[in-house]
Structure 1
Amino acid sequence: MSRAKRFASAPLPSAILLSLLLAGCMVGPDTVRPEINTGNSFLRDETAAGRSGHSAAAYAGTEAEFWRRFEDPLLARLVEDALRENHDLRIALARVDQARALARQSRRDLLPSVTAEGGYSESRASADQLPGVVRSGRDGESHDVGVRAAWELDFFGRVRRSAQADRADAQAAAYDLAALQVAIAAEVAQAYFELRGRQSQLAVANDNAVNQAASLELVTARLDAGQGTEFDTARARAQLESTRSRLPALQAEVAIAMHRIAVLTGRSPETLVATLEEPLPLPVLLDPVAAGAPGDLLRRRPDIAAAEARLDSATARIGVATADLFPRFTLGGLIGSQSLDAAALFGRDSETRRVALGVDWSFLEAGRVRARIAAAEAGADERLARYEQTVLQALEETENALVRYQHARAELASLREAAEAGTRGAALARTRFEGGLVDFIDVIDAERARLDLQDQLAQSQARTAVALVSVYRALSGGWPGQPRRPPGPTG
């Protein structure tokens, strides 16, 4: 049986005595972080110690401002613009300010509340109330001013637990802001790399359309010279138009990506078209820093910290509810002046004062109080489950990001070789055709294969860059202007 329940079951005089003796205690449980078995390393972390020769401990956290590793000044500027101007971040920041203001208010509940008051009243009694008194004698007025103070003597921690809960809520809001910063920075980088990938695909398709148009002119000239066939001309035209048919969809995706980046940076969709329409190559991808141990991840990720803070808040609210099992003591006081004549205010004989000790005990409502305690305990159980689920999802996200990046790199390496071979094959097919060794259909097939491989390579480069960003997003370390542990309400 808890200490709160033992006291609640004590006889009335004993409970009052115990309440006086226990000034300064706080009822209700304290939060204990649950132990979660996370293992010693991530399965797919290729840079962990023993695989690459580097110490995982040396790279326990991800690099700050990871996007600078891509050495793309425009990307860096866009991410910084988003972290400063993104509207979702502004909304989250307003929530942090609101939560911190509420936390400051609850801390002030620990101090006496002091209010100034004053009043003036004018009255007239009836002739029946004051028989025989003339009308003017039945008129009266009263003046009073004073300062009133009230202070809840927080013997059982109700006010302190409430302040603790509000402080944890404010910390959770700050961690939510940090998590959103992670998400926005990563989303800008991902959208940027997808844009560059689409532009690369578009450039490949345009280049191939130019080459295929030249091929169509060649076979048409051969047909006019009596050396070609209608079949070769039709196949060349079909290949050219097939390539041209890809262009509108790619152009639309390029525009959509530019619009998305603009909105992420707090601008209207068309604002960055002029800035982003010039194609730039995708950056050279460097190996990421090591993921470190899963236990390190739990200390880095702001979404886990937010879930833990909300567990703290829910646990503290059990104490708030439990404190209602005990009497609530309030110390009040008033000092002021009251007089029937305004000129006599603040005179020696107009002084008023009062000191009172109030006791409020809802022992007759114990059933309702215990129901509130049960509801608070259920809320804490929910927050505990959410915390554990957040941890598992973070581990899953990290493992998945590492898996995707590992396989994306393998795919990219193979497609690079395939694209180079496809380019050589197309060149050889054209040379052999011009030498009369193969039919034009062989050139068409080689050109189609080259186009497909180059298109796949451009997509793979973008996917690999996006996968690398996802790794950094999952690791959630070192983000600009945002400490790993955002400041609490007093920060």
Structure 2
Amino acid sequence: MVSTVEVPEADAQFWRDWGDPLLVSIVDATLRANHDIRIALSRYEQSRALTHQAGLDRYPTLDVSGDVSDRRVSASQAFGLSRAHRDGELHTANLSVIWELDFFGRVRRSVESQRADTEAHAADLAGVQVAVVAEVTDAYFRLLGLQRRLQVARDNESNQADTLRLITALFQEGRGTSFDTERVRTQLAFTRSRIPPLEAEAAVTANRIAVLTGREPAAVVTMLDRSAALPVYPAQINAGVPSELLRRRPDIAAAERRLAAATARIGVATADLFPRFTLGGLVGTQALGFNTLFQRDSETRVVSLGVGGSFLDVGRVRSRIAAANSAAAESLAAYEQTVLIAMEETEDALVRLSHAQAEKAILEQAAEASRSAALTARQQFEGGMVGVLEVLDVERSRLDVENLLAQSATQQATALVAVYKTLAGGWPQLIPEPQGDAMAQR
């Protein structure tokens, strides 16, 4: 009997706790229709079917056969008989069974190896789910960040257009210069030049989200064309102890199962040093006519004990054992490497998230200061206290800082997604941020 292997799914808590219905629907659609997940699921199902097939090798194999033949015995075999008496039909029906007596564990270890391979494919499926959910969530947050940067650029464009109109009016009244007007016009053109690349990048990101959800880009672009705040992030993430990480990571589980499969294949190769014993049997019936096929005395039977295998070809068997040992050593090294990489990725993701949070906090202060400075500069310009050059300089600084803040908020979001990915589906504890996302509040 083949054991049932559970297929782990990506942790739903990650995207549901942030209260964004569109994100929830996108991730749910991804888990249902993403082609990478469907490919991984098909591989798992194939491996599971092979595991079931391997498990049947532990039981006898039944075979049913029947035959009807018209034959003629040669004259030398039936001396003295006429041609008509040498012609005849032969009817046979047989039920045979053959069973390998697994004295040395070849079949048992083969089933163990195949089962471990199937469990590795199940872990691969879980890993693909985690990776795809992380990718689509990362793309969604990057899209929100791009939309926020577009909003900043368009707001600054509107503000600078107002400044240009004011400067033009003053110039027409004889209170300004053509130089001031051209400087404002140049700054406005520069701000407008930032918008098309952001729109292109946003469109490309939306297309990527569509593909990840298994749909054509046109089906989701309109739905994603909106302006929404990036979600509120936890101030701290408790990644847990390393042993918990080792249990959660699907890539580690897959590497461990492949190591188990490689170890089991050593047993399969080693069993070839010993003979294979098979127990066979056949019951049937044989008659010259169909009417007498199942009558008494037409029955046949065979009982056999077979011995075979390649146990006498010791050189080749030992070469296969050596190859299996080397494959197991390779799998062990791959497992150890996977563990180290998991530790590295987790530490890197947590460090990047911590620094992204620190950078965003600083840029929030800078953005607040730049907005205040821009308002003061405009008021002083309208009062004749400063020139247009000072206003343009302050507004350019404001645009740069707000653009950097939007980028930083996006980096914090994607850094959090990276932590989710390295922790394979979530983390044990979320500590909410008391003040929330300052940029979202504004």
The one-character-per-residue Cα deviations of 1:333-384 (angstroms, maximum 9, x if unpaired) are 0011111111111211011111100011423310000000000000000100
**Amino acid paired to 1:121:** S
Distance in 1, Cα, partners of 2:20 & 2:309: 66
**2:144 equivalent in structure 1:** 196
Once residues 63 and 167 of structure 1 are traced to their aligned partners in structure 2, the CA distance between those partners, rounded to angstroms, is 25
Tell me if structure 1 keeps the 8 A contact 2:420–2:426: no
Q: Residue 7 of structure 2 corresponds to which residue in structure 1? A: none
Query: Does 2:98 correspond to 1:150?
Result: yes
- Contact conserved, 1:70 with 1:284, CA < 8 A, in 2? yes
Q: Secondary structure at the match of 1:364?
A: coil
1:350 counterpart residue number:
298
Take 1:163 and 1:220, find their aligned partners in 2: how far apart are those partners? 84
> Aligned partners of 1:288 and 1:65: how far apart in 2?
16
Alignment of 1:115-264 (within 5 A): 115-127=63-75, 130=78, 132-264=80-212
| Contact 2:30 2:213 (8 Å CA) reproduced | yes
Kindly indicate whether the alpha-carbon contact (under 8 Å) linking 1:288 and 1:468 is maintained by their aligned counterparts in 2. Answer: no
Matches within 5 A, 1:298-313: 298-313=246-261
Q: What is the SS of the residue equivalent to 2:235?
A: coil
In 2, the alpha carbon distance for the partners of 1:259 and 1:381 equals 43
Q: SS state of the match for residue 245, structure 2?
A: helix
- Per-residue deviation, 1:297: 0.4
Q: CA deviation at 1:433?
A: 1.2
1:264 and 1:226 map into 2 onto residues whose CA distance is: 59
5 Å-filtered alignment, 1:464-479, equals 464-477=412-425
- AA paired with 2:190? S
Paired-residue identity, %: 57
Give the match's secondary structure for 1:358.
strand
Say if 2:14 and 2:425, in contact at 8 Å, map to a contact too.
no
Q: Distance in 2 between matches of 1:71 and 1:362?
A: 64
Corresponding residue for 1:11?
none
The one-letter amino acid of 1:257's match is: T
Name the structure 2 match of 1:336: 284
Distance 1:237 1:478 in 2: 50
Q: CA deviation at 1:63?
A: 7.1
The aligned amino acid for 1:261 is I
**Could you tell me the TM-score, scaled by structure 2's length?**
0.92
The aligned counterpart of 2:431 is: none
Structure 2 equivalent of residue 73 of structure 1:
21
C-alpha distance 407-318 of structure 1, shift in aligned 2 (>3 A) = same
1: CA distance between counterparts of 2:165 and 2:292?
A: 112
CA distance in 1, matches of 2:115, 2:72: 53
| Aligned twin of 2:373 | 425
Matched residue SS, 1:284: coil
Residue correspondence of structure 1 range 385-396 to structure 2 within 5 A: 385-396=333-344
Paired amino acid for 1:140: G
Residue 374 in structure 1 maps to residue 322 in structure 2: yes
How far the C-alpha of 1:282 sits from its partner, in A, is 1.0
**TM-score of the two chains, using structure 1 as the length reference:** 0.83
Q: Is this contact kept in 2: 1:146–1:334, CA < 8 A?
A: yes
2:382 to 434, 459, 472: 434
Considering only aligned residues, what root-mean-square deviation do their CA atoms show, in Å?
A: 1.4
In 2 relative to 1, CA 248–299 (structure 1 residues): closer, same or farther, beyond 3 Å?
Answer: same
Aligned CA distance change for structure 1 residues 118 and 108 (closer, same or farther; 3 Å)? same
| Equivalent residues of 2:60, 2:98 under 8 A apart | yes
2:425 and 2:409 mapped to 1: Cα distance? 24
Would the aligned equivalents of 2:51 and 2:115 in 1 still touch at CA under 8 Å? yes
Task: Return closer, same or farther for 1:261/1:456 CA change in 2, 3 Å cut-off.
Answer: same
Structure 1 residues 21-36: aligned runs within 5 Å = none
Q: From the superposition, tell whether residues 183 and 271 of structure 1 become closer, same or farther in structure 2 (CA, over 3 Å).
A: same
CA positional deviation for 1:132:
4.4
Partner of 1:281: 229
Gaps of 5+ in 1: 1-61, 480-491
- Which of 462, 478, 483 is equivalent to 2:410? 462
The runs of 5 or more residues in structure 2 that have no matched partner are 1-9, 428-442
Report the CA distance shift for 1:262/1:142 in structure 2 as closer, same or farther (over 3 A).
same
Shift of 1:78: 0.7
Asked if 2 retains the 8 angstrom alpha-carbon contact of 1:307 and 1:386, the reply is yes
Match of 2:297, SS state, is helix
Residue 112 (structure 1) aligned with residue 60 (structure 2): yes
Amino acid at match of 2:280: G
* Equivalent residues of 2:277, 2:306 under 8 A apart: yes
- When residues 180 and 361 of structure 1 are mapped into structure 2, their CA distance, relative to the original with a 3 A threshold, is closer
1:77 and 1:111 map into 2 onto residues whose CA distance is: 47
Summarize deviations over 1:124-172 as a string: whole Å, max 9, x none: 2344554543221221211110110000000010000000000000000
Question: Aligned with 1:70: secondary structure?
Answer: coil
Quote the offset at 1:123 in angstroms. Answer: 1.2
Shift of 1:289: 3.8
Closer, same or farther in 2 for the Cα pair 1:189/1:258, shift >3 Å?
Answer: same
1:409 corresponds, among 330, 336, 357, to: 357
What letter is aligned with 1:432?
Q
- Asked if the contact 1:124/1:140 (under 8 Å) is kept, the reply is yes
Is the CA contact 1:63–1:289 (under 8 Å) kept in the aligned structure 2?
Answer: no
Deviation at 1:412, TM superposition (A): 0.3
Point out the more displaced range, 283-292 or 445-454: 283-292
Residues 288 and 187 from structure 1, CA distance in 2 versus in 1: closer, same or farther, beyond 3 angstroms? farther
Q: Secondary structure at the match of 1:428?
A: helix
- C-alpha distance in structure 2 between counterparts of 1:115 and 1:403, whole Å: 64
Distance 1:163 1:478, change over 3 A: farther
- Structure 1 residues 161, 373: closer, same or farther in 2, change over 3 A? same
